[in-house]
Structures are given as C-alpha cells and as structure tokens.
Amino acid sequence: MRSAILLTSFVLLAMSVSAQERSYGRSMVINDHGIVATSHVLASQAGAQILARGGSAIDAAIAANAVLGVTEPMMNGIGGDLFLIYWDAKSGKLYGLNASGWAPRGLSIDFLKKQGITAMPQDGIHSVTVPGTVEGWSQAHKRFGKLPWKEIFGPAIYYAEHGYPVPEFIHGYWADSLDKLKQASEAQRIYLPHGKPPEIGEMFSNPDLAKALLLIAQKGRDAFYRGEIAQAILKTSAALWGTMQADDLAEFSAEWVEPLSIDYRGWKVYELPPNGQGMAALEMLNIMATQPPNNDGPQGAVELHKKIEAMKLAYTDLYRYNADPRFAKVPVKGLLAKDYAEQRAALINPDKANCAPVNGNLAKSDTTYLAAVDKDGNIASLIQSNYDSFGSGVAVLGMGFVLQDRGGLFTLAFPRSWKKTISTA
C-alpha cells in the first residue's frame, strides 16, 4: 500500500472572491540534495541552500518557514502556531508535532465578562494565544536537525534586514488587511510604510524582525519564551490590558503526537490528531471513498459537488466534536470508522446542495504550507499560521511581528486555563 502525508488546512469555503482570484502557485526548488516547495520562491531557495550545505529536511523546512514569516507576514510568522509531520527515513517511522499554543491562564470567562465581552473577540489582545512556532522549530531541530541552529536563520535575517520585492498576491492580502493594521500603532508603523501597504515590486524590510530572528538564532527558543522577546510580548500585552503572564510563555512546550491514518483507495493517508482539524480531512476522504467513480473528471461539476458536500459533513462533525484532548475526549475512532462514513455519505444528494448540514450521532485562509525532502529521503510536511490575516493585528513592541488570533476560535461555554483551540491545520 502506498503512503501519503496529508497536512492540510481546508479554507476554500471561507475564501473571499478576491482571495480566490489570486494565484497560489507553489514555488518549488529541486537540486541534487533534495526538494523544497513553498508559496514563495525566496523561501524555497533558502531551504534549497540549507540542503546544499548538508542540512536535513527539517533544517530546510525551518529555514524556509522563517523566510516565509518575513515575506508573507500576513500568513505566518513567529507569532503563530506550527504543525509538523516528519518521515524519518532511517527508522522508517512517521512523527507528528503539535506546536499550537494555549490561552493565557488569566483569560477567563469572568475576566472577559467584566470587560463587557459576551463573545470571543476575533482580533485584538484578547484573541491572542501563546505562539508555538519557535518552540516547534526547537523541538523538531533537536530531534532531526543536522546543521547548527544559528546557521538556519541566515536567509530570513538577511531578507528582514535588507528587504525583498513584494509580489502581487501578497500585496493583495496586505491591502485587504488595511483596516486591521490601522487599528494598532505598532502594526501600522511596521506594515504600513508611508501610511499604506507596500506597492507591487516595492522593497519591504523589517529591521525589528531581523533583530528578533537574530536573538532566536543566537539564544535559541528561550530568547522567545523567557528572554528579550518574551519581555516584549508581556510589555505589549500589559499596555493593551491583556492577560499574558511570564509563566504562560515560559511553561509552554510542543507535543510529539501519533499521526492518525486511514486507507483511501490504495493509499495510506496520515494526518495530525486533535486539536488540529486533520481528522476532518480524513473523514472527508472516507466519505469520498464511498462514492462511485464517474466520467466527469476530478474537477467536473459532479465530482466537485461530492467533494463540497463531503467537506460540509466533515466540518460539521469537526466543530461539534473536536477539542483539546487534554480536557475532553474526542471520538476520533468513531468519526473515522468506515460505517460512519457510509452513514454520512447517505446524506449527500447528487442533485442538490445541503445548505444546513448537521453533525452525526456517534456511539480562514491565512495559513502557509511547505514541504522539504532531503537526499536521505527524510520528509518534512509543515503548516504554520497566524490564523487570520495579520493575526490579532497586535504587533509586539520593537520585535516586528504580529501575534496570532487563534483565541477567537474559543467559545465562552467551556473555560479552562492553558487550553488550546481547534486549529486550522
């Protein structure tokens, strides 16, 4: 049986029309040392350079991801979360890493109610959760890295310091986020030079981010969670009456997890377990496997209708049952059972869209994906995200990056300290 790693973020139904019209052509660089594929050519080149120096797939993935945080700051960066599936060729084993952050301990329902908040904010300081990216990089590099940590960040530091030309599709997302960026003075200072987004082809640099990346390169993950960057995050939070405290950052750690898998038409497909949304991708494939083939083609109307309906059903279950497994039991086995897929598939009308799908009974568009393969056959499949475009809109004072807004996915019904939200990975 063939195997496939599927680390995805299903955001198609949430995309705006303007986003749909933009190209997501994958920038892939191939050389004698391996392959790197990202959404930006500079990131792909950075990863390829690391491979050429003898780096592993994870070294290349981290280097490429760091560059993407510079060149696509609305999508991802060190203020966001990270998920990784890694194939270790030597051991023949697949590893999963969940580096999604938890909510600050002080972000309680009582606190929010005292602020007059009745629903989770979708941006601003109260939507911020602890960023997991740097911790994820650190854990992955300790386990699978070959090159020295500090060498990996050279390309990202260079582009942050010296600048890069802004491509058309990035300019479009930047412009779409204009109102959010104008709400916070630090974000406006960093990302709106001359009071507006950089133009297509304009050179954009971020010296503050170069400084932050240099600190991470020199001092490791503790620079972010205990050192100078941590202090800047806490200062930023306090200035906006946020709840982030030193132990929220210092005590955070990424988790190594066992990937989920299903058999799909001769392929064994792997995804990460909750709190990520990987089980929805697997449930969708299970539902699709029950559908008979047709002559319409993979992008024909009939096939697209089936995929969309399967996605609706899988996502309805996702938002009903997914949770942080440290605090709730998630019925993964039941959701991925073949007989359950058949029950769900029976709800698909081949001639009509289901406009109000409901979850079954059991016994946003701002995410970056990249992949790297090294000469030894190791594979890194990585997703990294701010969640929404430019995350919370809150930029860390003097550090050149925004904090994610994944806390907006919480509800006020189930308060728990250091809980993780559902993730878009």
pLDDT at 18: 38
Whether residue 26 is predicted with pLDDT greater than 70 in this model: the reply is no
Total tally of structural domains belonging to the chain: 1
pLDDT at 30: 65
Structure tokens at 357: 């799908």
pLDDT at 248: 95
How many helices and strands in the chain, by DSSP H and E? Answer: 17, 12
Contact 396, 232 (CB under 8 A): yes
263 Cβ neighbours under 8 A, 6+ residues apart: 1, 269
**pLDDT level of residue 15 (50, 70, 90 thresholds):** very low
> What secondary structure, in 3-state letters, does 231-288 show?
HHHHHHHHHCCCCCCHHHHHCCCCEEECCEEEEECCEEEEECCCCCCHHHHHHHHHHH
Name which of 58-62, 127-131, 216-220, 268-272 the model is least confident about. 268-272
Whether residue 207 is predicted with pLDDT greater than 80 in this model: the reply is yes
How far, in Å, CA of 349 to CA of 153, rounded? 51
Average pLDDT of the segment spanning 65-74: 96
For residue 285, tell me if it sits in a domain: no
Chain segment 96-133, per-residue pLDDT in tens: 999 988 889 888 777 877 877 777 777 888 889 999 99
Whether residue 417 is predicted with pLDDT greater than 70 in this model: the reply is no
**pLDDT level of residue 65 (50, 70, 90 thresholds):** very high
State the maximum Cα–Cα separation within the chain, in Å, rounded to a whole number.
Answer: 60
Cross-strand partners of 367: 385
Q: Which of 164-173, 217-226, 295-304, 353-362 is the most confident on average?
A: 217-226
pLDDT at 324: 62
Orientation of helix 278-289 relative to helix 338-345, angle to 10° = 70
Mean pLDDT, the chain, whole residue set: 84
Whether residue 89 is predicted with pLDDT greater than 80 in this model: the reply is yes
For residue 337, tell me if it sits in a domain: no
pLDDT at 410: 67
Chain segment 375-410, per-residue pLDDT in tens: 999 999 998 988 888 999 999 999 999 999 877 666
Between residues 15 and 182, which one has the greater pLDDT? 182
Strands 267-271 and 2-5, how do they pair?
parallel
For residue 340, tell me if it sits in a domain: no
pLDDT at 338: 81
Average pLDDT of the segment spanning 213-237: 98
Q: Is the N-terminal amide bond of 275 cis, ω within 30° of 0?
A: yes
For residue 188, tell me if it sits in a domain: yes
Chain segment 113-123, per-residue pLDDT in tens: 787 777 777 78
pLDDT at 267: 86
Secondary structure (3-state) at 35: strand
Whether residue 142 is predicted with pLDDT greater than 90 in this model: the reply is yes
Q: Quick check: is 8 catalytic? A: no
How far, in Å, CA of 51 to CA of 155, rounded? 13
How far, in Å, CA of 249 to CA of 237, rounded? 12
For residue 116, tell me if it sits in a domain: yes
Name which of 13-22, 215-224, 308-317, 331-340 the model is least confident about. 13-22
**pLDDT level of residue 323 (50, 70, 90 thresholds):** low
Q: What percent of the chain has pLDDT over 90?
A: 49
Structure tokens at 367: 């995410």
pLDDT at 241: 92
Q: Which domain holds residue 119?
A: 2-256+368-409
Whether residue 280 is predicted with pLDDT greater than 70 in this model: the reply is yes
Catalytic residue among 38, 71, 367, 368: 367
pLDDT at 351: 72
